[in-house]
Amino acid sequence: MYCVSVGASHRLRGGLAALLAALVVLTAATDPADARWRKKRGNSGSATSSIVHNPQYAAIVVDANTGDLLHSANPDSLRHPASLTKIMTLYLLFERLESGRIKLDSQLEVSAAAAAQAPSKLGLKPGQTISAEDAIKALVTKSANDIAVVVAEALAGSEEEFAKQMTRKARALRMSKTVYKNASGLPDDDQVTTARDQALLGLAIQDRFPRYYQYFSTRSFTFRGRGMGNHNRLLGRVNGVDGIKTGYIRASGFNLVTSVRRGPRHIVAVVLGGTSAGQRDARMRELIEARIVEASVKRTSPKVTEVAAAEPAKPVRVALAAPTAKAEPKPEPAASVTRKDIEPVKVEAAKPIPLVPQPQAGSTEPIKPRLVKTLTMRPGTTQVAAVAPLSLLSPEPITAQASPAAETAQPVRHTTAMAPAREDSPPPPPPGARPGVLGVLTAKDMAAAAKPVAVASAAADITTSSAPAAAKAAPPTREIKRTGWIIQVGAFPDEGEAREKLANAKTKAAKLLESADSFTEPVTKGDKTLYRARFAGFKQHQAEAACRYLKQNDFACMAIRN
């Protein structure tokens, strides 16, 4: 019994030794790097599978050289853009920089509304300023919501108006389903986009602004001694990635628009609805590696261009044109865009309508002279009340012809917008009246006029042979139109405080602001109203000189082209 136990024990030990030796050989034959790759591959596959089956997931990959569609998943389904919104904010800012209306060193003022935005933000205080170039870097890296509002207010006066401009620009770029409601991407149920629209914007901003697009490759940014990194973790880690933007809110998930260039190949890819930043980035890496090899090495597609609001949205690239064969359900009313939001209403001047039958061309009917009455007018500038609806009058000024009795009198200038039409207005303008030619009234027409025409004169009375005197009308109120350049020295919750700031500035820079027109301008955001303290009436160099002087004396100031 003892011998048997010993033999079994030896056999068991021998088997274990053989198994251990086999494991050692197998381990030695396995490359540790390969093991790490397999582990990484397994994790990546799990993350990719999770994101692809997420209901919020949408993606698209486009060959930038040809416009061909290399990959798509729910490309036209409505999603919330989150901070991808800032791509359009920067598009409009680049547009102003390119036109020269603002410069990279132009100072943009921080309002109370901007300072109150939710993080992520720089945390500037109301009244402080930031240069346009630093604003670009803050949007690209930190994705600062307060700076997005600063840009919106500097370019459009208010964030609400800026959002309308953003939506109109989206339509001009053929982004047919995108609606913007703010400049930052903070939560708003009505702010929506699609993966296809974001790919189109990613292409357009590179084609239109190749110089300024380079800011999207900024990996870090230092502002007033504080450093911050770019949220786009693929920059510097994935070969060829040169931008452009990440985004996240709870309603959207994790979003990313990426541009990749490897040699002559160039693609733009979009991933929306990631369940985490890691999953989103892993899916983007997978799409890049799988599709970049399919991209063309030669550009055959034209650059993305804008279209006028009235033009039909003809697709520039076949892949980027939303499919039309299958009708999709209409988006919710809250996310719809009205024509009023897309483009301003254009009103064409009404064509003159003949007031009396005219002889046919080639008529042999002789012209019969008629008895007429003559109006005698004293020299001077007069304004005559309209006697017909404005739409029936010629838009050109009518110059009176002097009668023989008044050949030496100075020309009389007439306007056609002095008084509203009256129910008991006299008959329409006399036959033959047109720009540069006065018509004539027959005796019959004059007798039919029950009441004299009211005439207002700024220099002299007008008399006629049929009425003792014409009634005098008060001149219209002149609307003040401020043109040229404006400087702003602050925005305040109290109008009295704004006026006090204007007075202090004028005292400090008396010579520079001596002839300037000071005024306050209310701006309402939600339930808050701010009063901007501004001076108008400058040329560009005057406005910039005034701002430089005021800043040297501890005044916040920015110059704006009105």
CA pair distance 183, 199, nearest whole angstrom: 19
Distances (CA, A) of 267 to 247, 262, 264, 425, 554: 20, 9, 10, 68, 49
pLDDT digits (tens, 9 = 90+) for 231-272: 999 999 999 999 999 999 999 999 999 999 999 999 999 999
Pick from 111, 93, 96: nearest CA to 489: 111
Whole-number pLDDT of residue 356: 42
Is 86 catalytic? The answer is yes
DSSP structure class, residue 463: E
Residue with tokens 């200038």: 413
pLDDT digits (tens, 9 = 90+) for 14-38: 555 555 554 443 443 333 333 333 3
- Looking at the DSSP bridge assignments, the partners of residue 31 are none
Q: Does residue 274 contact residue 258 with C-beta atoms inside 8 Å?
A: no
Among 77, 143, 259, 518, the one annotated catalytic: 143
Whole-number pLDDT of residue 339: 32
Residue 57 has pLDDT above 70, yes or no: yes
AA identity, residue 138 = A
Phi, psi of 384 (to 5 degrees): -105, 135
CA pair distance 492, 490, nearest whole angstrom: 7
Residue 118 has pLDDT above 50, yes or no: yes
> Which of residues 41 and 286 earns the better pLDDT score?
286
CA pair distance 406, 389, nearest whole angstrom: 30
Is 143 catalytic? The answer is yes
pLDDT digits (tens, 9 = 90+) for 545-559: 889 888 888 888 988
Q: Does residue 253 contact residue 54 with C-beta atoms inside 8 Å?
A: yes
pLDDT band for position 476 (cuts 50, 70, 90): very low
Q: Does residue 219 contact residue 230 with C-beta atoms inside 8 Å?
A: yes
CA pair distance 137, 151, nearest whole angstrom: 12
The 3-state secondary structure of 242-304, one letter per residue? EEEEEEEECCCEEEEEEEEEECCEEEEEEEEEECCHHHHHHHHHHHHHHHHHHCCCCCCCCCC
Q: Does residue 227 contact residue 220 with C-beta atoms inside 8 Å?
A: yes
**Is the fold of 58-320 the same as that of 485-561?**
no
Is 340 catalytic? The answer is no
Domain range list for the chain: 58-320, 374-389+410-465, 485-561
485-561 is classed in which CATH architecture? 2-Layer Sandwich (3.30)
AA identity, residue 17 = A
State the fold for domain 58-320: Beta-lactamase (3.40.710)
CA torsion angle for 489, 494, 500, 506 (degrees, to 10)? 30
